[in-house]
Each structure stands twice: as C-alpha cells, then as structure tokens.
C-alpha cells in the first residue's frame, strides 16, 4: 500500500493495489472507493483531507488511529 496527497485538491489517496480501476463509488462523507475488474478495491480517496485532519500539508508522515 502507498499513499499520495494532492495539496492543490486536498485529496488523500490510499493505493491498495497497483491495478487499473474500472469502477468507482462515491460513499457518504467525501470518500471514493475505486474497484478493479473483479470487484476488489484498488484505492480509497478522501476529499478535504486536511480539513478533516487526516493529513497536515507539508508533513511526510500519516498517523493512523485504530
């Protein structure tokens, strides 16, 4: 898994697989889940990531709470 952050769009993307997505579903709360051709999740996008305090722009680490 790897992470990408676009500060211009304020979108945090967790890439679960290096597979091309063929479908995406927008979930409530600004979350978009993309799926591959067999229905497995490929990535999860979080809109307004810094406003939701998922990431702080300029930082290179991400704290995951369980």
Query: What pLDDT score does 65 carry?
Result: 58
Examine residue 27 and state whether it is found in any structural domain, yes or no. Answer: yes
Residue 27 domain boundaries:
2-47
Specify if 61 maps to a domain. Answer: no
Domain assignment of residue 35, yes or no: yes
Domain count, the chain: 1
Residue 64 is assigned to a structural domain of this protein: no
**57 lies in a domain?**
no
Tens-place pLDDT, residues 9-26: 999 999 999 999 999 999
Question: Does 59 map to a domain?
Answer: no
DSSP characters over 9-27:
TTEEEEE--SS---EEEEE
**What is the predicted pLDDT for the residue at 63?**
60
């Amino acid at each position: 898994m790897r992470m990408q952050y676009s500060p211009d769009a304020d979108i945090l993307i967790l890439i679960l697989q290096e597979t091309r997505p063929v479908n995406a579903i927008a979930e409530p709360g600004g979350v978009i889940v993309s799926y591959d051709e067999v229905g497995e999740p490929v990535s999860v996008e979080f809109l307004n990531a810094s406003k939701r305090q998922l990431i702080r722009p300029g930082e290179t680490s991400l704290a995951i709470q369980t």
